[in-house]
Each structure stands twice: as structure tokens, then as C-alpha cells.
Amino acid sequence: MKYKALKGLQDILPPEISIWQYIESKARDIFKSYGYQEIRLPIMEATDVFIRSIGETSDIVEKEMYTFQDKGGRSVTLRPEGTAPFVRAYVEHHLYNNSSPQKYYYIGPMFRYERPQAFRYRQFYQIGAEAMGIDDPKLDAEIISMLTAMLRNIGIKGLNFEITSIGCKNCRSDFKTALKGYLKDKMSKFCGDCQRRYELNPLRILDCKVPTCIDSRQGSPLVIDFLCTECKNNFNSLKHQLDLLQIPYTINPNLVRGLDYYTKTAFEVSSESLGSQKAVAAGGRYDSMVEEFGGPAIAGIGFAIGMERIISLIKDSFRKPDGPDLFICPLGDEASEKGLQIAEQMRAKGLWVEINYDSASLRSQMRKANRIGARHVIVLGEDELSKGEIVIKNMLNGKETKTTLEIKTFLKIIQKSK
């Protein structure tokens, strides 16, 4: 074969596409009940949108972005995530003028030039949600509750829900000083990236995946021990709200997000059955991004679910999609023409109808109907056309029903057994 999909990108084909549609529709149902509206944003942005928000020293910006110059010489980037483009649009369209909280969701592809492996792709899909304009742990708890409901509704079990607080700018500066002090004499054991980030952004050292760096940072100070009074109260209140809503969670003070924009609440949902790529969803609060993008001081919180990862968790138990409501087996040219008319009339009534197009024997047409999972079959031959009568065969229970060749009558029979 001459051409293949690029490494780390995949075609999503039937029947697997029905799992995607199922998840998307379950997600939309939940979003509706929480008042979230859909937005569709471009898949490309000016590169600066991501550098400013995700952070210059993050892995995403340093190593994983698909960045190129367009024909006008501008640096553009395929979105590696949805929050920064969302905030760009939020500020550009003054969405903050609507009454708070403003709640939005998006479903679409993201692009990261990572080393492809199981459940890690270069193009992957996220279902994301962002709630703006309220800086209150009640909203944090509600969004976590919505994510829990969504994953439960989709049918995913056995997930770990981890939360933490990574503080605000104020508490983080004390933490940075303590962290740098702790790491100072150990830096020779760290990788080149960490050594570089020590001065630029020491917090990123906590996110490095290199095994020697993981070992060498054991015992380092935790940001949760440096929270200012406001952040501490905020986190306690979040836990209280989650308890009230009976959302199970664990506190993981070692939880580090790979994006710089987070403040206060951060969370991650994971499944042990996914191995090393176990995060199925993640999110948190970002209280200064809107201002950094030129908007007013408005707080935000959101999450994104990795579609491929949740699909892999429900794939095996997913029921195969139904086949057509009706398969028409015409025998001869006249029957074919009549069959096409019937098919069109039935489709106009909302039924899924397939017809055989070639002159195959009745036996092979019946085999085909079986193979595609047709729920009913009718045979149209000379006899049926001249008498104006047909037999509808229910393929699930084998029952045959004789009826006149009138759409009205057999529509009723098929709909009744649906």
C-alpha cells in the first residue's frame, strides 16, 4: 500500500464509530442537564496563544507542538489542548459580559507530537468543559460531580479520582523558594531539561518523567504544605462540598499538572487498566489566564476527557450496533425498480432500509441480509408484484407475516417489532 495514516494518527471506522457516537451523546446529555453550551473553535491558533498559557518550559510547548509557518509567514500551531483556544475566544468575543457562570463544552481533536504508544496518540480527541466567572469551590465541586456523572453514565467503573490544590501565585512563590533550596545540591543527578528548568520554572521538575529525576526528587517539599490561608480554606471547602455530594476522591499532594496555567484546584481521573497512560480525564482551576489574555480578572475551571482512553475501557462490553430495519431482496429488473421506490418511501419515514443491487440468487441475498444484521427481510419477485402481496420475515425470531404490498401496512408491522 502506497499511503498510510501518519504515525500516531488513526482512522476511526465503523463499527467502532458507534462507540464514539454513543459517548458523545451521553456527554451531551449530561452537559445539557448542567447548562453547558457547545462551542466549536478552530483547530489552529497563533503559536503564542499556547506559549503564553501552557508555559514556555512545559513539555507540550518545548517538545510536542505541531508548529509551522503559514504562507503569510505567521507561526501557527495545531491545538495541543482546548483551554487556551477557549480562553482566547472567551476574551475575543467578550463572553464574560454574559451572566456568570458561563458554561461551555467542546468535542474535537487535539495534536501533540508525543512518542506514540498504547493510548497515546499524536491526534487524539477530547471532550472538554470550561466554566467561567465564579471563583468558588462550590463550582469546583459541581464540575467534578459532573465529570463523575458523565463517566458513570457512559458506563465506566473502577476509576480513581485524585484531587489537590496547587495554590495561587502568592503561596507558590514561597513553595518555589523551598523547592529550589531542597533541590539545589541534588541538581547534578537530574536530566538536562530539569537542570535548565531549575532557574526558569522549578515546578516543572516535579513533572519530569525521567526515572532518575523521579527518584532524585523523592522527599521534596509539597505545594499543599505551602498554601496561603485563602487557598487552604478553599481546598477544605472543596473537600466538604465533595463529601456533601458523596463524590469519592483521594487527595494526592504529588499530583502535578503538565500545564502552567493552573491555580488552586487540580484533579485527575485515572484507570489502572490503562497501564502507563492511565489518565482518562484531568482538569483544574485557572484564575489568571483570562487576564493574561487581555480580559478582565475572571476565574475559570474546566476538564478534558481523553476519548480514546475511555473508549478502550468500554469497548469490550459495548453492544454491537443494530443492523438495518429492513433488507429488500428483489428478483428481476421490475422488482428492483419497485424495491427502490419502497426503500425510498420507508427511509422517508425514518427507517434504515438496505436493498440488494445485483442479480444474485435469493439464497445469497438472504445470506447478505443475515451478515449485515437486518431485522426484517422482504422478497420481491414476479409473484409478489402480480398479486400485490408480500411476506415480511422477522430475522430475529423467524416469524413470517403475510401482508399487502402497501407501505402503510408493512411499516406498521416493522415498527411494531422494533
The H-assigned helical ranges of 104-228 are 137-154, 169-183, 192-200, 211-216
Residue 417's region, left for phi above 0, alpha for psi from -120 to 50, else beta, is alpha
**Residue 54 in the binding site for ligand HAM (CB under 6 A):** no
Smallest distance from ligand HAM to CB 36, Å: 12
Tell me, by CB under 6 A, how many residues bind ligand HAM: 25
**Residue 124 in the binding site for ligand HAM (CB under 6 A):** yes
Residue 269's region, left for phi above 0, alpha for psi from -120 to 50, else beta, is beta
**Residue 369 in the binding site for ligand HAM (CB under 6 A):** no
Q: Which residue is nearest to ligand HAM (CB)?
A: 306
**Residue 175 in the binding site for ligand HAM (CB under 6 A):** no
**Residue 162 in the binding site for ligand HAM (CB under 6 A):** no
- For the record, the C-alpha cell of 206 comes out as 516535579
Which residue, 126 or 216, has its beta carbon nearer to ligand HAM? 126
- For the record, the C-alpha cell of 288 comes out as 489568571
Site string for ligand HAM, 75-114 (x = CB under 6 A): ------xxx----------------------------x-x
Q: Which of 50, 175, 190, 303 binds ligand HAM (CB under 6 A)?
A: 303
Which residue, 273 or 359, has its beta carbon nearer to ligand HAM? 273
Give the closest residue to 327 by CA, choosing from 386, 390, 385: 390
11-40 positions binding ligand HAM, by CB under 6 A: none
Residue the block writes with cell 489552529: 44
Residue 61 CB: number of other CB atoms within 10 A?
A: 21
- For the record, the C-alpha cell of 252 comes out as 494526592
Distances from the Cα of 254 to the Cαs of 31, 271, 315, 353, 375, in angstroms?
30, 17, 31, 55, 54
Q: Which of 101, 202, 283, 323 binds ligand HAM (CB under 6 A)?
A: 283
Q: Which of 23, 49, 282, 378 binds ligand HAM (CB under 6 A)?
A: 282
Q: Which of 45, 59, 130, 384 binds ligand HAM (CB under 6 A)?
A: 130
Which residue, 86 or 410, has its beta carbon nearer to ligand HAM? 86
The DSSP code sequence of 68-85 is: EE-TTS-EEEE-S-SHHH
Length of the chain: 418
Question: Helix, strand or coil for residue 232?
Answer: helix
Which secondary-structure segment (H or E) carries 105?
strand 102-111
Q: How many helices (H) and strands (E) does the chain have?
A: 15, 16
**Residue 308 in the binding site for ligand HAM (CB under 6 A):** yes
**Residue 287 in the binding site for ligand HAM (CB under 6 A):** no
Q: Which of 121, 190, 226, 410 binds ligand HAM (CB under 6 A)?
A: 121
Rounded-to-integer distance, Cα 117 and Cα 3, Å: 21
Smallest distance from ligand HAM to CB 383, Å: 57
- Which segment (11-19, 122-130, 333-341, 373-381) binds ligand HAM by CB under 6 A? 122-130
Q: Which of 58, 102, 126, 148 binds ligand HAM (CB under 6 A)?
A: 126
- Which segment (35-43, 228-236, 305-313, 340-348) binds ligand HAM by CB under 6 A? 305-313
Q: Which of 85, 101, 284, 324 binds ligand HAM (CB under 6 A)?
A: 284
Which residue, 133 or 283, has its beta carbon nearer to ligand HAM? 283
Which residue, 128 or 221, has its beta carbon nearer to ligand HAM? 128
Question: Helix, strand or coil for residue 117?
Answer: strand
Distances from the Cα of 259 to the Cαs of 41, 83, 149, 207, 376, in angstroms?
20, 10, 25, 10, 53
239-268 positions binding ligand HAM, by CB under 6 A: 258
Rounded-to-integer distance, Cα 280 and Cα 272, Å: 10
Rounded-to-integer distance, Cα 93 and Cα 90, Å: 6
Rounded-to-integer distance, Cα 237 and Cα 137, Å: 6
Which residue, 268 or 325, has its beta carbon nearer to ligand HAM? 268
Distances from the Cα of 311 to the Cαs of 15, 20, 118, 308, 400, in angstroms?
13, 7, 13, 5, 39
Smallest distance from ligand HAM to CB 334, Å: 54
**Residue 306 in the binding site for ligand HAM (CB under 6 A):** yes
**Residue 281 in the binding site for ligand HAM (CB under 6 A):** yes
Residues engaged in binding ligand HAM (CB under 6 A): 81-83, 112, 114, 119-121, 124, 126, 128, 130, 258, 279-284, 302-304, 306, 308-309
